[in-house]
Structure 1
Amino acid sequence: MCDIKLTLQNENKDLLMTITPVKGQPKANLKKLQTAFKLSAYSTFLLIDAAMELLLAEVAKGDESDEQKSTAGTGSIIANAVDASLKVTLAPESMSATLEFTAAYGGKTIENPAVIAILKENNITKGIIKENLINIVKEGRLLQGGKSISTEIAKGKMSKNGKDGYVKYLVDDPAERISCPKKLENGNVDMRELGNLIHVKAGKKLAQLIPPTDGIKGFDVTGTIIDAVSGETCFLEESEGSSFLDENNNILVAVIDGMPKYLENSVAVHKLLEIENIDVGTGNIRFDGSIYVQGNVCEGMQLSATEDIVIGGLVETASISAGGNISIAQGIIGRQVSEKNDLKNSTMLQADGDISAQFAQYVDIFCKKNLNITQYISHSQITVEGDLWVGNIANEKADGKIFGSRVLAGGSVHVGTLGSVCGAITNINFNYWFKIVEELRVIADEANHKIIRRLPRIYKLLQKAGKLDNENTKQINRITYALKQHLYLLGKLNKEWLEKGNNIDEHLNNFELAAYQSILSGVNIEVTNKNSTFKRDHQATQIKWFENKISIEPIVN
């Protein structure tokens, strides 16, 4: 058999295999070479691809050449000793560092100083995870040559922005309380039991200003500090019936007895009239302040307040108006009455704020803000400048019903089922802002024509007064003042309708009608001069204004 010898060269980094023919012995082959390498002390070295095959080829060439025939062997480098290696990878913005350990091929393994050196080399100084460093070195030494493992060895800390300042309300909101009747032990709800009236005495703390926080600074693994953004500053302000407790201006207290009302960044306290029922015994009520009716507003009665109206029962065939919100614990029941050969609803609600109730039937509603009806709207005329929600306000999706009614909306409409199975016409009109702008424009035009008709007379008066003596100065001033007032009024009216005109495009771009359960046949949708009538039932549907047309798309749950 030929002689196969393995020796180290080049500072013990290269493995030389030498094959020496032995006369009368079998020639070397690849299997013998591979066995000799595997059984040697150098089997962990990195074998060079095809190195043994090339060596055998050289040996074969020597056998064929007379000149090469000698006792000298043929040698070639077939493997290398490769030291274990470390590689660091930094995440974007240096917020973490990963160490990759590749095991040695017969070379030097990794010692702790090498780990420290590569950390310094990559400037990793903060957020180092010591346990992971120790473990990767231990596990890496047990790996088969050339195998790799990696682990996160340093982690930065993101900065934490400060929290915004806010107003913490210290009293309950009557409008919310009226929509949360008492839950009984058997699980039912007592719509008549609303608990105690929310009423505050002078000196009661109403709200507290919570300041913003500075936030917490962060760092990356190289030690660079990441600044934090402080929270936004909020403010608290005095309102009607409330003032600051002291010069710190951070606590608001009531200065009168009355009913609190949440405002943005404030709480107002309004004079409160509390009454059991509105009926023939009390007569019609008009009050400068807020009104709390414990029970019902009975048939034929009128109720008016400059602020909020809270009703613990129901409203039946009555007229109610409020300068603030109207909150009704139960429902609104009206009927159709004949007036000049036309059928009209007997009940009317008008509010400059929000309106909320359990249900509404045969009622005309004019709402300057948002309208929330929990169960259904039936055979009613609705005008709402804000959004209309028909369903439980605690749910993510509206689940109430609108049928046999006309709605003029300046915002979005959210409902469960729109329309009725009997095919009663239900009309949803999104032209509220068109209507308002046109009305304001007409008023401005009429004022404009009136002023133009008066101008010649005013100028004649000025000319006449100017030809008289100085004693007519007061008369001239009065005429001049009247002229300025007319022009100011005209400018104000024109400005108002032009500004409202900006709401038209904003409304068209942002409104939606969402019927989360179904839209039934007989429903008509109006937007600008476009109409869409549903002639068949649809499942959950969303309607928007897109590319100058009514867009109807299914709602995918």
Structure 2
Amino acid sequence: MADLFLRIADDGQSVLFAANADNQSVPTRELLIEQLISLGAEKFYFYEKAIDSALAVTIRDDEPSPETAYPEPIVIAERRNASLVVKTDSDFMRAAITVTAPYGGNHATGADILEALKQNRIVKGIRKTQLHQLLQRAQSLQPGEKLTLPVAFGRLPENGVDVRFESLVDDASQRILKPQATDDGKVDMRDLGELITVRAGQTLMRRIPATEGVAGFTVEGKALPAKPGKDSEFQPGDGTIISEQDSNLLLAEKSGIPVAKPRGMQVDEALTLKGVNVATGHINFDGSILITGDVTPGMKVTASGNITVAGFVELAELKAGGDISIIKGIIGRKLEGNKLGCTIEAAGSVTSKFAQFADITCGQNALFTLHVLHSTIHAEGEVIVMDQFKRQGSLSGGVTEAGYSIRAINLGALSGVPTVVTAFTKFECLLQQLQDKHHDYQVELQNVEKIKQAKLKLLKLPEHRRPVELSERINNAAEQHKSQIDLLHADYQQLRGEYDELRSRVTITALNRLYAGVQSCLEKEHLLITQDHGPSKLHIFEHVFQCSPL
């Protein structure tokens, strides 16, 4: 029978190797492993180097010395409980626990995990389901095997939503873009509905207040404040009033034509005409104008409100302080000096079925459902040439400039007609705002530096010669400038973020066909299309203006 070289320590937590004078054999690694198993310590943590040392000292010389013959007991294995390591991401938005399975010791308990989280200051976003999963899976681990699971999650703040003003009445432009459905469910492209009027007391617009947003937090419990949405009140126009029962509703105070404004509406007196021609003469009206027929060549129509034309506008001039909606279309022709014979100018949007050889300027969007041919368009908003079903809408020839995006079904022409499109013309205005804000920020920094210099001069004076009022004024000024710097910095970051987001979203899009000959520009970048493409978008990606398939 082999000698017994191992024994369990008195505390039961380790295995000791001890050789003595009674041992008649030399231990081997295999023998020690067998004895560990017989002692029930096969799951203990083994000290490999200690085993090597134990084996080495038992190789006896022919005449061993008393000092080396019977060495002190050597710990070669020990019982270890499960261990826990908590790690958090650099932004403290997630915390994970790594469990190392025990070596013959106790498994981790729920209390152990909670204590580890507490010691690492993880107090928010702890998921009980993750903790249960960690405990269950840890039970099946082999000694020393590791398992890592995320158990706590922070929450990013949800910024508030800006106030919205929802129009509750249609306008003529919406009717043009959405023909009326017939009784059998089909769409009659010629039936664009009745002209829009409202009656006194009718609800025109609903104000949907801004929200405060939802604050976030890190796993350490640090609050991440949410940015509240921008709020603003109604700006009731002429002929409208805020409801006494609900301050978020805007009502018509009289009957007339509704004119949408950014934060409200106005109701204009309506001048209704069967047509504008040599019999009526030029029209100039303070309010909105409804023309149920055509505007014939050479005529001029001016209104402070909206202009709605149920027929055609041919070789005429229209100017409106609101929107211009032309149901059938805009017809012009090229005159001497490359002038176009039809001029449309609106402070709001321009909407029509089609436009050809026309000069169109608008303060908001330019919207067409059929085509735009050889025209010049300057829109502060978007230019869109497509019907509601996205089946037709061609933009070819001429020059089109949009403050933001340009979208059409087909862009350019099969014949290679030169077509110039420029998107995101607003970038210069936005960059100027950024530069102005940065300049203001630099000025405030200079002011703070001047105050620092003033403080240093004051500190050089003996304390009894320092004017108390001057010290207070300097301190107050320093606080005011510091506060202003913080505000300017926040405003600059917000403007920068809005600019970068816009720059990434603005596109020139052809949903069906992009033809060769299109000369495109977005911001300061230019791109000439030299071959035909299918559905495509022109956009800036990774600082490169490029054409990408949709």
Alpha-carbon distance change, 128 to 363 in structure 1, aligned in 2, over 3 angstroms: closer
Once the two structures are TM-superposed, the CA of residue 345 in structure 1 deviates from its matched residue by 5.3
Corresponding residue number in structure 1 for 2:286: 288
Q: Secondary structure, in 3 states, of the residue corresponding to 1:199? A: coil
Which residue among 80, 83, 86 is the counterpart of 2:81?
A: 83
5+ residue gaps, structure 1, are 434-505
Alpha-carbon distance change, 423 to 371 in structure 1, aligned in 2, over 3 angstroms: same
Aligned-residue Cα RMSD (Å) equals 4.7
Corresponding residue number in structure 2 for 1:518: 514
Q: Distance in 2 between matches of 1:126 and 1:22?
A: 62
1:99 aligned partner, one-letter code: I
2:41 aligned partner, one-letter code: Y
Q: Distance in 2 between matches of 1:352 and 1:40?
A: 93
1:268 aligned partner, one-letter code: Q
Alpha-carbon distance change, 121 to 10 in structure 1, aligned in 2, over 3 angstroms: farther
Q: Distance in 1 between matches of 2:377 and 2:124?
A: 62
Higher deviation after alignment, 414-423 or 100-109: 414-423
Q: Which has the larger radius of gyration?
A: 1
Corresponding residue number in structure 2 for 1:444: none
Corresponding residue number in structure 2 for 1:436: none
Q: Is the 8 A contact 1:58 1:74 kept in 2?
A: no
Q: Distance in 2 between matches of 1:15 and 1:510?
A: 69
2:79 aligned partner, one-letter code: A
Percent identity over the alignment is 28
The two structures have a TM-score, normalised by structure 2, of 0.68
Once the two structures are TM-superposed, the CA of residue 105 in structure 1 deviates from its matched residue by 1.0
Q: Distance in 1 between matches of 2:289 and 2:171?
A: 14
Q: Distance in 2 between matches of 1:535 and 1:92?
A: 46
1:391 is aligned to 2:385 = yes
5+ residue gaps, structure 2, are 427-498
Alpha-carbon distance change, 367 to 71 in structure 1, aligned in 2, over 3 angstroms: closer
Once the two structures are TM-superposed, the CA of residue 143 in structure 1 deviates from its matched residue by 3.0
Alpha-carbon distance change, 141 to 248 in structure 1, aligned in 2, over 3 angstroms: closer
Q: Secondary structure, in 3 states, of the residue corresponding to 2:48? A: coil
1:146 is aligned to 2:144 = yes
Higher deviation after alignment, 512-521 or 310-319: 512-521
Aligned residues, how many?
Answer: 466
Once the two structures are TM-superposed, the CA of residue 376 in structure 1 deviates from its matched residue by 2.5
1:7 is aligned to 2:7 = yes
The two structures have a TM-score, normalised by structure 1, of 0.67
Q: Distance in 1 between matches of 2:177 and 2:349?
A: 13
Residues 86-110 of structure 1 deviation map (CA, whole Å, 9 limit, x = unaligned):
3333455655543333222123444
Once the two structures are TM-superposed, the CA of residue 79 in structure 1 deviates from its matched residue by 1.0
Corresponding residue number in structure 1 for 2:39: 40
Corresponding residue number in structure 2 for 1:349: 344
Q: Distance in 1 between matches of 2:97 and 2:302?
A: 75
1:4 aligned partner, one-letter code: L
Q: Distance in 2 between matches of 1:101 and 1:533?
A: 57
Q: Is the 8 A contact 1:129 1:153 kept in 2?
A: yes
2:394 aligned partner, one-letter code: G
Q: Distance in 1 between matches of 2:136 and 2:508?
A: 61
Once the two structures are TM-superposed, the CA of residue 267 in structure 1 deviates from its matched residue by 0.6
Equivalence map 1:95-134=2 (5 Å): 95-111=93-109, 113-125=111-123, 127-134=125-132
Q: Is the 8 A contact 2:103 2:144 kept in 1?
A: yes
Corresponding residue number in structure 2 for 1:554: 547
Alpha-carbon distance change, 267 to 119 in structure 1, aligned in 2, over 3 angstroms: same
Q: Distance in 2 between matches of 1:191 and 1:244?
A: 37
1:402 aligned partner, one-letter code: S
Q: Is the 8 A contact 1:236 1:266 kept in 2?
A: yes
Q: Distance in 2 between matches of 1:171 and 1:16?
A: 90
Alpha-carbon distance change, 420 to 96 in structure 1, aligned in 2, over 3 angstroms: closer
Q: Distance in 1 between matches of 2:89 and 2:545?
A: 46
Corresponding residue number in structure 1 for 2:432: none
Q: Distance in 2 between matches of 1:216 and 1:361?
A: 50
Alpha-carbon distance change, 38 to 395 in structure 1, aligned in 2, over 3 angstroms: farther
Higher deviation after alignment, 356-365 or 181-190: 181-190
Once the two structures are TM-superposed, the CA of residue 2 in structure 1 deviates from its matched residue by 3.8
Q: Distance in 2 between matches of 1:419 and 1:306?
A: 35
